[in-house]
Amino acid sequence: MKTKIFVLFAVFGLMLNLVGTTFADNSKKKKGNELVALLPASDGVIAMDSKRFFASALPQILSGNKEMLDEVNAKMDEFKTATGIDIRQFDQTAIGVSAKEISPSNTDFEAVVLARGKFDANSLAGLVKFASEGKYREEKIGNRTIYIFSPKEIIEKNKTAVKNPMLQKVMNMIFPAISGEMAITAYDAKTLAFGTPDRVRLTINNDRPGIDADLMIMVSKNPSAVGSFALNMPKGAAGFLELGDDELGQNIASVRQMFGFMNVVGEDTVVSVTAKTLKAENAESLKNSMTALQSVFGDVLGGSKRDDQKVYGRMLKNAKFSSNANQVTLDLQVPQSDINILIGAK
């Protein structure tokens, strides 16, 4: 039961991470992320308006905790020193993730990132030579040079102690996840491609298949959003989540695709996540289960003495679930005042 409850509210975990890193001005119409169409075939796609994120998101979302904002900026400076890449120069970012079932309970993920901005991509790729202190190798594919190196060793060497407890937890999650090798190359004059070597090689292969039509439609549903995602549930996901054979487990296992977006309206951060199930009855039943658990856990967390848990309780109570055909959707608005509590406003 504990696992099922976690699965049901995994969307809230996703939302909390996105709330902590996402803000957008929704006053202008956007064309959408042009880089998504350049990605190779993927099981999951993330599109981000990086320019708006770095110009507005971090200052706004972390406005209640300047110390955390300063530390985040310091970490981006370290990443620039370590890799030669200043991610604050990115205008648009698109991420394509592939999933491979290793065993019924183990799925491996590989990603490639396309980042476009006001910089010379060829020059930035070349800086990896210096940032890696010579610990890299080169591959030539057509007229492109791919630089391959170990980011974990470089970042660990250059990192400094993190003072903020929440940020430390995030960094502790990131560093162990950085393993193996990273590849980087210039996709074109203003676009970098970086990620696992195999995904980067595939990205610059002109003969490979691209993003399928369903993912393209789902990730582009709200082009004005600062961040959007779409994914096909990977094979083996049901085994990984250890779902049972009862009605609840079957409904969760019936989810075939998920998509959503994040934006801000006034001072409220808006999150929408939709799951597409195998059958319409699965979506309706899943919505009813989540609504029932929403009331119970909303009351439990709302009665806590801890301010952060009270925020989670308000989130659960304010969440709106709806179903339409084989889709069940979570819509949520979170005020900046609650975000300030979560980031430890000072």
Residue 163 — pLDDT band, cuts 50, 70, 90?
low
pLDDT tens figures, 37-90: 999 999 999 999 998 888 887 777 788 888 888 888 888 887 777 666 788 888
pLDDT tens figures, 269-322: 889 999 999 999 999 999 998 898 888 888 888 888 899 899 999 998 899 999
Q: Is the pTM of this model over 0.85?
A: no
pLDDT of residue 1: 42
Average pLDDT of the chain?
79
Sheet architecture: strand order including 106-117: 136-141, 144-149, 182-188, 191-195, 106-117, 90-103, 44-48, 227-232, 255-265, 268-277, 327-335, 320-324
pLDDT of residue 38: 96
